[in-house]
Amino acid sequence: MEPAVKRPTASLQPVRGTHDLLPADAARHRRVVEAAREVAMRYGYREMATPIFEFSEVFRRSLGDTSDVVTKEMYSFTDKGGEEITLRPEGTAGVARAVVSNGLAQELPVKFFYAGPMFRYERPQKGRLRQFHQIGIELIGVAQPLADIEVIACGAAILRELGVLDRTQLEINTLGDPESRQAYRRVLVEYLSAFRDRLSEDSRTRLERNPLRILDSKDEGDRRIISDAPLYSDHLTPAARDFFAAVTGGLDALGIRYVVDPRLVRGLDYYGHTAFEFTAQELGAQKTVMAGGRYDGLVEEMGGPPTPGIGWAGGIERIAMLIAEPPAPPRAIAIVPIGSALEAQALVVADRLRRAGYAVELGYSGNLGKRLKRANKLNARVAVILGEDELARGAAIIRDLDTGAQEEAPLPSIEERLARFR
């Protein structure tokens, strides 16, 4: 076997479909997550986190063997113990697994908020990466339409808090109850079978195993066929119609605008009733910023008891594209010792100020001029200059870097004297 070729360090780049979150991007991400966490807490959702990787079967059960995610996009591998492992492509499956494996089915209802990275092998483009990040909520254990209304309202409230709700559109549909699904599946298969030879290869496979997934197809030929397919809404039972009417009525009462999209579906059998997406046309092809629905059979699919559930996930990268520039961090206080002999004292003063809640930058080397130049480059608000004569008097010089004004201040009360610069 030929030895592996070692690439020169200079050529190393991020893996395709990933990127570095440098401070400006990280600030936008943090703004999305912090706003979502705060709003979710108002709705009673507690934060939790699942492992970044799970046994592959967790996602096969939740996403289906015929889904694009399972067949084409999952990052799966066999670990050193021979276990088949997958980096999580979405969050709901892990949460449902956690409910079962931690015995939480005895504590229903449970309400969770999560945030973190997900992984899918897709063609990278704007708003779609191979490592991406999501926020999400899951409400498990409530079968009534009130849960659907609350989950959607929480998503709308997060987008409102971030100042982007008015730039999105809520699209909603009903998948009905199991009886509705069975009735619709029959007429859909009958319709699509007449076009079997014109369907894409993936859709021909799904026609036998999961025909509703064909409605999600992105193939142009499939899309033309689907455009004339029977509508799900024409095959709902009276109970399913009443459930959807209760959901839309609740949204009306809250003043949440929506558009009913009869083509919006979820393909797996344990999805039912409400499906929804918040979309932003300005994002182009990758316009969905938040998507969710009811999954009353998922916990049972994971080995738990029959348990209703509903939730959504939002793409942090996509939401971050829409929000305003986050506020700049507090301007720092620069500690500037005159000469290396005073650097130990500078460390002590910096530590005191940081303990008092100030952001502090410490000049690491150079004379007074170089350190002050660095302080200005860092956009520091004020410099605390430590010189031998001042320290002998138990004092330091405070220089306002915006105006150039300076004054001597006693070191024992330096925290209070800097309060006006917070």
Mean pLDDT, contiguous 10-residue spans, the chain (422 residues): 52 89 94 98 98 92 68 86 94 95 93 96 83 97 97 98 97 93 90 91 84 84 90 92 97 98 77 94 90 93 93 96 90 90 91 95 82 90 93 94 94 93 84
Q: Do residue 173 and residue 29 come from a single domain?
A: yes
3-class DSSP state of 249: helix
Residue linked to tokens 């912090």: 34
59 and 132 co-located in one domain: yes
**Per-residue pLDDT tens for 328-369?**
888 999 999 998 788 899 999 999 999 999 999 987 777 888
Is 403 inside a domain boundary? yes
- Residue 128 and residue 262 share a domain: yes
pLDDT tens by residue, 194-232: 998 899 988 888 888 788 888 878 888 988 998 889 988
Domain annotation covers residue 5: no
Task: Verify that 162 and 282 share a domain, yes or no.
Answer: yes
Return d(Cα 415, Cα 13) in angstroms, integer: 44
CATH number at residue 406: 3.40.50.800
Percent of the chain beyond pLDDT 70?
95
Q: What pLDDT sits at residue 142?
A: 97
Indicate whether 73 belongs to any domain. Answer: yes
- Same domain? For 90 and 111 the reply is yes
Provide the pLDDT for residue 1: 44
Prediction pTM value: 0.88
Count of domains for the chain: 2
Residue matched to tokens 């036998």: 208
Same domain, 317 and 254: yes
CA distances from 77 to 14, 254, 292 (A): 20, 46, 28
Domain hosting residue 390, numbered range: 333-421
Extract long-range pairs of 399-406: CB within 8 Å, 24+ residues apart. Answer: 399/372, 401/334, 401/372, 401/375, 401/376
Length of the chain: 422
The answer to the question of residue 222 being in a domain is no
Neighbours of 273 (CB within 10 A): 24
For residues 282 and 412, membership in a common domain is answered with no
- Look at residues 295, 322, 349 and tell me which one is the last residue of a structural domain: 322
3-state secondary structure 16-79: CCCCCCCHHHHHHHHHHHHHHHHHHHHCCCEECCCCCEEEHHHHHHHHCCCCHHHHHHCCEEEC
Closest of 112, 149, 157 to residue 299, by C-alpha: 112
| CA–CA distance, 17 with 124 (Å, rounded to integer) | 5
